[in-house]
Amino acid sequence: MFKRWIYLLLIAMALPSMAQEALQYQKPSKEILELVDVKRAPATFIDDAQENMILLFRDSYKSIEELSKQELRLAGLRIDPKTNIGSRVTYYNDLKIQRVGSEDALNVKGLPKNPRLANFRWSPNQKYLAFTHTTSAQVELWVLDVKKVKAMRLSKKALNANMGDVINWHADSKSLLVKTIPSDKKALIDSSSAVPTGPTISVSDGKKAQNRTYQDLLKNKTDEFNFEQLARSEIYTVSLKKKAKAWLPAGMYGNVSVSPAGDYVMVQEFQRPFSYLVPYSRFPHKINLYSRGGKLAHTAVDVPLIEDLPQGFMAVREGPRRLQWRNDQPNILVYAEALDGGDPEKEVSHRDQVMQLAAPFNGSASLLLKVEDRFYRAVWKDDKTALAMTYWWNTRNTKTYLFSPDQSTPAKVISDRNYQDRYSDPGSFVTTKNQYFRGVLAVDNGNAFLLGDGFTPKGQFPFLDKLNLASLETERVYQSEYTDKYEDVRDYNLENDRLLVRIESKSDYPNYYFRSLKDNKLTALTDFANPFISIANVKKEVITYKRDDGLDLTGTMYLPTDYVEGKKYPMILWAYPEEFKDKSSAGQNTQNPNNFIYPWYGSPIYWVTKGYVVLDDASFPIVGEGDEEPNDTFRPQLIANAKAAIDALDERGLIDRERVAVGGHSYGAFMVANLLSHSDLFAAGIARSGAYNRTLTPFGFQSEERHYWDAPEVYYTMSPFMHAEKMKTPLLLIHGEADNNSGTYPMQSERYFNALKGLGAITRLVMLPKESHGYRAKESVLHTIWEQDQWLEKYVKNKGQ
Tell me the catalytic residues.
666, 739, 773
H or E element, residue 151: strand 150-159
Give the C-alpha separation, 189 to 48, whole Å: 47
Among candidates 661, 772, 747, which has minimal Cα distance to 696? Answer: 747
For residue 695, which phi and psi values (nearest 5 degrees)?
-70, -15
H or E element, residue 716: helix 712-718
Give the C-alpha separation, 556 to 381, whole Å: 41
Cβ proximity of 655 and 646 under 8 Å: yes
Cβ proximity of 162 and 253 under 8 Å: no
Give the C-alpha separation, 740 to 771, whole Å: 9
Give the C-alpha separation, 88 to 740, whole Å: 11
Give the C-alpha separation, 129 to 80, whole Å: 25
What are 298's strand-pairing partners? 289
H or E element, residue 616: strand 613-618
Residue ranges of E strands in 36-80: 43-46, 52-57, 72-74, 77-80
3-state secondary structure of 295: coil
H helices then E strands: how many in the chain?
A: 10, 49
Cβ proximity of 571 and 563 under 8 Å: no
**Three-state SS letters, 541-564:** EEEEEECCCCCEEEEEEECCCCCC
> Which residues lie below 8 Å from residue 22, measured CB to CB, with a gap of 6+?
none
Residue ranges of E strands in 684-769: 684-688, 731-736, 763-768
Residue ranges of E strands in 259-395: 264-270, 285-291, 296-303, 321-325, 332-338, 352-358, 366-371, 374-380, 386-392
Give the C-alpha separation, 368 to 365, whole Å: 9
Among candidates 669, 664, 679, 682, which has minimal Cα distance to 752? Answer: 669
Among candidates 389, 371, 369, which has minimal Cα distance to 379? Answer: 389
3-state secondary structure of 748: helix
3-state secondary structure of 798: coil
Within 13 Å and on the Cβ side, how many CA atoms surround 516?
8
3-state secondary structure of 598: coil
Cβ proximity of 85 and 161 under 8 Å: yes
Return the sign of the alpha-carbon dihedral for residues 580, 586, 588, 590.
Answer: positive
Cβ proximity of 731 and 753 under 8 Å: no
Helices assigned H by DSSP within 372-415: none
Residue 500 to residues 56, 102, 769, Cα–Cα distance (Å): 19, 16, 42
Give the C-alpha separation, 194 to 205, whole Å: 30
Give the C-alpha separation, 548 to 108, whole Å: 59
DSSP 124-148: TTSSEEEEEEE-SS-EEEEEEETTT
Give the C-alpha separation, 246 to 234, whole Å: 8
Cβ proximity of 314 and 214 under 8 Å: no
